[in-house]
Structure 1
Amino acid sequence: MKTNYILAISGNDIFSGGGLYADLATYTTNHLHGFVAVTCLTAMTENGFEVFATDNTVFGHQLKSLKDVDFAGIKLGLLPNVDVAEQALDFVKAHAGIPVVLDPVLVCKESHDVEVSALREELLKFFPYATIITPNLVEAELLSQKTIKSLEDMKAVAKELHELGAKNVVIKGGNRLSKELALDVFYDGQDFKVLESPVSSKNNVGAGCTFASSIASQLVLGKTPLEAVEISKDFVYQAILHSDQYGVKQNYEN
């Protein structure tokens, strides 16, 4: 019998807008029972926003604790290093046959070339096991090693990521290509679908995490990948539209 158990393998956002907080809130909204394996902690320090990876042994114990849970779906968020990513991949392989959404979070590490290169190679290993991947423009550029400057570029990179093993790809354009519309491109290996919604200036912290965890939720609920993406696109837009103006001044004081 199919359960409503869904796992987030994701990080702790100190400002509680993204990461595991967004994942659990989205799961609850969809009446699913969410579990979390925490990949990292974050904090503002004198060096800016920093990511502190969960100890490799501790992360392994988390996954072992959950190995017998009958999950109906898995969403993967920030994987801070190769060790954590390798363990997460082994866990995904051991849970074949259920929807898996990979949100390949690389942006917070994009200035560290060696680390990004190693993580890129590791993330590519997830592609054959993921139902859908959800990179934003910068992440799609890092994964494909191509520059995206137009909607046609988005389509070309989506096709390339599919050829690298991803079954379904949605590239999140945000407002980088248009100041009026948030443009996303979905590709399933045969057809492209361009999705758009108005750009809102309200609180959008955690939008990418919410989008991926909503897609995972909809897949668990029986929707097709395209249906899941379309529903989740609207869900995120409505969430931003009805959000408050909460914000945190990201500075560090001794």
Structure 2
Amino acid sequence: MTNKYVLAISGNDIFSGGGLYADLATYTTNHLHGFLAVTCLTALTDKGFEVFATDEAIFSHQLNSLKDVPFSGIKLGLLPNVKVADLALDFVKKHTEIPVVLDPVLVCKEKHDVEVSVLCDELLKFFPYITIVTPNLVEAELLTQMSIKSLDDMKAAAKHLHELGAKNVVIKGGNRLSEEKAIDVFYDGKEISVFETPVLDTNNIGAGCTFASSIASQIVLGKSPKEAVALSKDFVFQAIRHSDQYGVKQNYEED
């Protein structure tokens, strides 16, 4: 079988639970050949969990190095600033013939409100060129400027993101609406679908990254966006269910 090449434009997670580590592991699980363009490094410092953006020139060199690879799909993760996001957008515009998944990571790092607002505006520029966007509840609130407190709010926000230009939308509710169910909402411009799994007691991090890279993998493998979301929802549930409980997230949040 011919190899399918999938690019992750994403950041380094120093604890190896999310970011590029989750992307590559998911691609490998789906028998895809993963490539990376690294947007940032992270570290736990005396200021907390910090994100250090890749130098603009270095990031540009990374993308230029990959310009002739025949990619079958692209997954976008953490874009730490406007300069990096602009370069990533230029690259995506040159690959409009392949599926692109945007995971709009906005709240894993310390950011001032003005900076988050600027990044939101920048991420909205990707919408005409992507196949599906996968925000969590907080990211969906930031992108839509809507308050999301219920399942109906999630559905309304998904429709609004579609109106803003996203062809397909999945909003990750996690366990914020229910202590017993992890609820996600999918919208393709025609139909709302709700996906639920039981909430698991875990300290794992990186589920959102894994979910987005799994969706990218499934679309590359020929599934529709809705099918990809359904399969990826189950994939993440099973991955968490059978994973090691490292607990780093709890440790550094309590410091």
TM-score (norm 2): 0.96
Q: Is the 8 A contact 1:5 1:35 kept in 2?
A: yes
Q: What's the RMSD between the two structures over aligned residues?
A: 1.6
- Counterpart of 1:20 in structure 2 is 20
The reply to whether residue 183 of structure 1 matches residue 183 of structure 2 is yes
Q: Cα distance 1:34–1:178, how it changes in 2: closer, same or farther (>3 A)?
A: same
Question: What's the secondary structure of 2:108's corresponding residue?
Answer: helix
Q: Cα distance 1:61–1:140, how it changes in 2: closer, same or farther (>3 A)?
A: same
Q: Is the 8 A contact 2:204 2:247 kept in 1?
A: no
- Counterpart of 2:39 in structure 1 is 39
Larger displacement relative to structure 2 (178-187 or 239-248) = 239-248
Runs of 4+ in 1 over 4 A off after TM superposition: none
How far apart, CA to CA, are the structure 1 residues paired with 2:3 and 2:241? 32
TM-score (norm 1): 0.97
1:165-214: CA deviation from partner (whole Å, max 9, x where unpaired): 00000000000000000000000001000000000012431000000000
Q: Is the 8 A contact 1:13 1:42 kept in 2?
A: yes
Instruction: State the AA in 2 paired with 1:121.
Output: D
- Counterpart of 1:205 in structure 2 is 205
Name structure 2 gaps, 5 residues minimum: none
How far apart, CA to CA, are the structure 1 residues paired with 2:43 and 2:254? 9
Q: Cα distance 1:110–1:160, how it changes in 2: closer, same or farther (>3 A)?
A: farther
- Counterpart of 1:112 in structure 2 is 112
1:5-57: CA deviation from partner (whole Å, max 9, x where unpaired): 00000000000000000000000000000000000000011110000000000
- Counterpart of 1:171 in structure 2 is 171
Aligned-residue sequence identity (percent) comes to 77
Instruction: State the AA in 2 paired with 1:242.
Output: H
- Counterpart of 1:159 in structure 2 is 159
Q: Cα distance 1:159–1:252, how it changes in 2: closer, same or farther (>3 A)?
A: closer
Larger displacement relative to structure 2 (167-176 or 200-209) = 200-209
Larger displacement relative to structure 2 (197-206 or 186-195) = 197-206
Question: What's the secondary structure of 1:108's corresponding residue?
Answer: coil
Larger displacement relative to structure 2 (107-116 or 57-66) = 107-116
Larger displacement relative to structure 2 (107-116 or 76-85) = 107-116
Instruction: State the AA in 1 paired with 2:113.
Output: D
Q: Cα distance 1:95–1:177, how it changes in 2: closer, same or farther (>3 A)?
A: same
Instruction: State the AA in 2 paired with 1:107.
Output: V
Instruction: State the AA in 1 paired with 2:136.
Output: N
Q: Is the 8 A contact 1:202 1:243 kept in 2?
A: no
Question: What's the secondary structure of 1:250's corresponding residue?
Answer: helix
- Counterpart of 1:101 in structure 2 is 101
Aligned counterpart for 1:250 among listed residues 240, 243, 252: 252
- Report 1:231-250 matches (<5 A): 231-248=231-248, 249-250=251-252
The reply to whether residue 150 of structure 1 matches residue 132 of structure 2 is no
Instruction: State the AA in 1 paired with 2:192.
Output: F
Deviation at 1:96, TM superposition (A): 1.2
- Counterpart of 1:138 in structure 2 is 138
Deviation at 1:244, TM superposition (A): 1.4
Name structure 1 gaps, 5 residues minimum: none
Larger displacement relative to structure 2 (32-41 or 113-122) = 113-122
Question: What's the secondary structure of 1:216's corresponding residue?
Answer: helix
